[in-house]
Amino acid sequence: MSRIKVAIIGGSGIYKLDSIKIKNQHKISTPFGDPSAEIMECEVDGYSFYFLPRHGIGHYLTPSEVNYRANIFSLKKLGVDTIISISAVGSLREEYAPKHFVMVDQFIDWTKGFRKRTFFEAGIVGHVSTASPVEPTLSKRLFEASKRAGIVSHLGGTYVCIEGPQFSTKAESNIYRGFGASVIGMTNVPEAYLAKEAGIAYATVAMVTDYDCWKEEHCTVQEIMDVMKLNYVSAQRFIQEVISDLYKNPISFDPENQYAVITDPSLHKPIHKEILEVILKK
């Protein structure tokens, strides 16, 4: 298992492809509870990777019910150092059209504070910079792979994460546009921040399903779901490109979590040591 370094977090449609084989499933326990599902060990073109359905098998977890800490911790425990997040989003910019992919490089957290967003709490304090929440080398590689897969893609942009599960009002949508945000979603925060705390290279592939309601055109939830299905077909082509590329040419990066913990080691309890042993491991 330790040889598998790459994981994908995304929707269930990703792994339903003839060329992607499910080889095994791993039930991982964490100090933070259970992840969304058992971690699937998959293979495409002879290359193995892990897959975690963010909302559980059958999509039964709302964005705020996802146990983001358990998800990231379980992947790091398996030896993952690279995470590709595949996420459906609405567009806040005219040029980012439905069926386009956007490799975002920034996040705005507009959730309501209900989500557990750090590994450092309950007697242990740590600080990790999220100035650059996305690993730029990984994001660029994903962009290049998407272009090879024939997908209209954009490199760079800001993802505003809302609580959900409701979509925005028009007033809210226009506020987010005023922030300079490019796309809107409900899941990548705190996922991206936790990956930084765990020393994992993380990048988002934001698949545009619709123009958020700022744009004066009618769009039903059913229409959004129809575009989402088409996006997953594109995502499957993309995965075939990117997995082999990352194994042939792994990215190199410096984890920013190595000096995060500032609590005196003499105060570390057994549970703290258990957590730190996993998330600080290179």
Which of 18, 45, 212, 226 is catalytic? The answer is: 212
254 is catalytic: no
* Count of Cβ atoms closer than 10 Å to residue 135 Cβ: 21
C-alpha 22: how far from chain center: 20
Rg (CA), the chain: 18
Name the DSSP letter for residue 261: B
Which of 210, 226, 245, 254 is catalytic? The answer is: 210
105 is catalytic: no
Q: Are the C-beta atoms of 81 and 186 separated by less than 8 Å?
A: no
Smallest CA-to-CA distance from 32 within 130, 161, 118, 128 is with: 118
CA distance 65 to 181: 24
CA distance 268 to 251: 33
Burial of 258 (0-12, 13-18, 19+ CB in 10 A): exposed
**SS3 of 47, please?**
strand
CA distance 127 to 116: 15
For 34, the token pair is 């259970």
End-to-end CA distance of the chain: 15
Helix 270-279 vs helix 68-77: crossing angle, to nearest 10: 70
Say how many residues make up the chain: 282
Q: Are the C-beta atoms of 282 and 164 separated by less than 8 Å?
A: no
> What DSSP string describes 133-196?
-S-HHHHHHHHHHHHHTT--EEE--EEEEE--SSPPPHHHHHHHHHHT--EEESSHHHHHHHHH
Catalytic residues: 210, 212
